[in-house]
Amino acid sequence: MKNKPLLIIGGGGHAAALAEILLKQNKKIVGVVAPELIAVGNVFDGIELFHNDDDILKFNPQDVLLVNGIGSMPFKLLREAIYNRFKKLGYEFATVIADSAIVSDYSVIGCGVQVMNNCVVNCGAAVRDNTIINTSSSIDHDCIIGAHCHLAPGSTLSGQVVVENNVHIATGSNVINNITIGRNSIIGVGANITKSIPANSIVYGARAIVKGLESNDS
């Protein structure tokens, strides 16, 4: 990570988890940007609070790195919108890797990727920009994970899995090797994926029932 002060966007649980990782790594956090702090605990104590996204513009893009502390949930586009807005304005986003994560020297980790506690990213894997690899997730060899994805806690990808952009893989899901998951898809909690999934799909249940997003009533 470039040795610049950090500005965290977001005041919820994901932002707090990132802040704790960074503070343990002795990184300098110059502020948190959020309308209010809703995270439990006092991890943000002593860090200046800025209430509006436009306050980020007070910082020269050459002087800080941004940390995208907005969580990622299905049908919620704020995280991606924040990333795209400030990238266009010339800001860079810090890549955050927890000390407890195991990340191969032979993997490729993109801009703004967040690899949380106890994750594994094996050799030959590539994780694209602004993706979250959340707590205790496992990515095996030669997987390719697209941009703006979220692998929720405890998800497991076997080798040579391709995950296209904007995919949400929920907690406890398992994906066998040589599977492709199409863009904008949602893999539900505990689903077992044994065949490739088309783009714009919702998959749910341990036996992986596939449903098109256009027919989703939620």
Residue 154 assigned as binding residue? no
Query: Does 148 participate in catalysis according to the annotation?
Result: no
Residue 150 assigned as binding residue? yes
pLDDT at 106: 98
Prediction pTM value: 0.93
Catalytic residue from among 14, 51, 141, 148: 141
Q: Work out the pLDDT band at 139, boundaries 50, 70, 90.
A: very high
Residues 6+ apart with CB under 8 A from 146: 128, 131, 163, 164, 165, 166, 167, 183
Per-residue pLDDT of 161-186, as tens digits, reads 999 999 999 999 999 999 999 999 99
Name the average pLDDT for the chain: 94
* The domains spanning 6-94 and 97-207 adopt the same CATH topology: no
* Gap between the Cα atoms of 126 and 107, Å rounded: 6
How do the domains of the chain map onto residue ranges? Answer: 6-94, 97-207
Summarize the confidence of residues 87-106 as an average pLDDT: 98
Amino acid letter for position 170:
A
Per-residue pLDDT of 198-218, as tens digits, reads 999 999 877 776 778 764 443
Domain 6-94 has CATH 3.40.50.2300: no
Q: For 91-145, give the secondary structure using H, E and C.
A: CCECCEECCCCEECCCCEECCCCEECCCCEECCCCEECCCCEECCCCEECCCCEE
Assign domain 97-207 to a CATH class: mainly beta
Per-residue pLDDT of 103-126, as tens digits, reads 999 999 999 999 999 999 999 999
